[in-house]
Structure 1
Amino acid sequence: MLTETLIALAAAGGTAVVQAAGTEAWEGVRGGVARMFRGRAGGEDEVEPDLDRTALLRASDDAEAGGQQARLWQARFAALLDDADDRSRQRTEAELRQLISLVPGVADRYPALHVHGNTYDKSPQQYGNHNHMQIHYGTEA
C-alpha cells in the first residue's frame, strides 16, 4: 500500500509527463520514463507507444484527453512503486522526483511531495494578531 507521499509522487509524475509533451523538457521526460520501465512488466517496448500517444493527444490541446493521460501515467507510476521492493522503490522514487523536476511548477502543485517525515522543506512564515494566526509554507503569503 502506498503512502500519501508516494500517491502524490505518482500523480505529479503523471502530470509531468503530460505537461512536458510538446515542450523542451519532453525528450528528457520521455527518456526518463522509458528508462524507469526498462526490464519491468509493462516495460519500455510497451511504454514508448503510450508516450507517443500522450504527445499526440497533448498536441491536440484536448483538456479531457490530457487529464485521462495524466491519470493513466499516475496509475502506471503507482503500480511501479507499489510492486517494487524497498530498494527498488527508493530508486524509482528518486528517478520519478528527477523526472518531475524537469517540468517547472509541477512539484509545487503537490504539497505532499515537500513533506519528509515530520519536516517540511520550505520555510514557514507566521502571521497573526491577538486571536488569529496564519502559517504559510513557501514563498506565497
Structure 2
Amino acid sequence: MLSEALESLAAAGGSAVVGAAATDAWHTARAGVARLLGRGDDHQERYAIERLDHTATELEQAADGTRQQLRDKLQNRWAGRLEILLEENPEAAHELRELIERVRAELPAAQQSWVQNNTAQAGAIQYITQGGDINVGRGRSGD
C-alpha cells in the first residue's frame, strides 16, 4: 500500500499527463511517462506510448460538454497506473517528481496547477491558503 505522499504524487502525475495533452508540454509528458512505465523494456515503453496517444486523441475528440468529465476520468486512470508503478518501483518517485516539474514548467500559465499537502496531527489545527490572506485570532469581546 502506498503512502499518502506517493498517492498524491501519482495523482499529480495523472494531472500532468492530462494537462499536457494538446500543449507544447505533450512531448515531454509523453516521452517521460513512457520511459517511466517502460522501466527499460522497449515493448512496455511502446505500449505506454500507445496508451498516451489514445489519451490525447480521446481528449481532442471529446465534445465540449463532456470534456471535463473525460479529463477527470483520464486523470484518475493515469494516477492509477502511476500508483502501480510506484508500488512496484518506489525508487521511481524521484523521477516522477522531476518529470511533473518539467511538464508543469512547459504548460501555459492557465493550465498549471499546484498541489499542497498539509498534515495536522494530534488534534492540531492548520490554517492554510495558496493565495490571499488568512487572519487567525480571537475577536475582541462583543464582536
Q: TM-score, normalised by structure 2?
A: 0.69
Tell me if 1:50 matches 2:42: no
Tell me if 1:80 matches 2:85: yes
- Tell me the distance in 2 between the aligned counterparts of 1:21 and 1:126: 35
Partner residue, 1:11: 11
Structure 1 consecutive aligned stretches of length 4 or more whose deviation exceeds 6 Å: none
Unaligned runs of at least 5 residues, structure 2: 120-129
Shift of 1:99: 1.9
Give matches, 1:18-33, under 5 Å: 18-33=18-33
Q: Which has the higher strand share?
A: 1
- Tell me the distance in 2 between the aligned counterparts of 1:3 and 1:63: 28
- Tell me the distance in 2 between the aligned counterparts of 1:67 and 1:128: 34
Give 3-state SS (helix, strand or coil) of 1:58's partner.
helix
Shift of 1:128: 3.4
Q: TM-score, normalised by structure 1?
A: 0.70
Identity of aligned residues (%): 33
RMSD of aligned alpha carbons: 2.4
Partner residue, 2:76: 71
Partner residue, 2:127: none
Shift of 1:126: 6.8
Shift of 1:29: 0.7
- Tell me the distance in 2 between the aligned counterparts of 1:17 and 1:128: 37
Considering only CA atoms, is the larger Rg found in Structure 1 or Structure 2? 2
